[in-house]
Amino acid sequence: MSKLFSKDNKHVFTNPLNLDNPILVQVLGICSALAVTSQLKPAIVMGLAVTVITAFSNVIISIIRKTIPNRIRIIVQLVVVAALVTIVSQILKAFVYDVSVQLSVYVGLIITNCILMGRLEAFAMTNKPWSSFLDGLGNGLGYAYILVLVGAVRELLGRGSILGWQVIPNGVYEAGYLNNGMMTMPAMALILLGCVIWVHRAYFLKEK
């Protein structure tokens, strides 16, 4: 049990949440981050979908890594990811159909997500299943919480609600407050994401 939660494994899991965050540090996967964060609910679902697929594809590739011929390893990785994406897509359509419609083609495009393919090639192909699972889980959650943060801000300022529930009181609107319609546009997602990256890097540069 101590080996499962060793210092190295903890580092593998926690590093992508902060110091090596796939969006904030590596600037990967930002296309979907800009496209699905106009509301919080699809941002949460997209983040969870990427987390699950990244974690389990890492495990599968790690298990079979020694049997994969080097010349077709990318093809094998794509097949594994495509199978998991198809399963997740069908589950979303079965249980949260309205969100799957909002996410549109972006669930399918997880297949080409830079974060996912990068972890398979850089980590799962050379490490054991448990550490690969932690790496996939950490990178997925690191991606997900940025989506949730941006989605929450955009929905609050753009629609005055969180998860569809009105947060800003009617009295505020009666006093003259107006929702910021620009927050619902992809351009504002890029600006918000840039601000988050700036704050993150400024803070950690100061710490160093």
d(CA 151, CA 41): 8
In angstroms and rounded to an integer, the radius of gyration of the C-alpha atoms of the chain is 19
96-148 pLDDT, tens digit per residue, is 888 888 787 778 878 878 888 889 988 999 999 999 999 999 999 999 999 99
Q: Quote the tokens at residue 143.
A: 């991606």
Q: How many CB atoms lie within 10 A of CB 205?
A: 8
Handedness of CA 16, 17, 22, 25 (dihedral sign): negative
Instruction: Residue 23: name the closest of 162, 148, 207, 186 by CA.
Output: 148
**pLDDT at 39 exceeding the cut of 90:** no
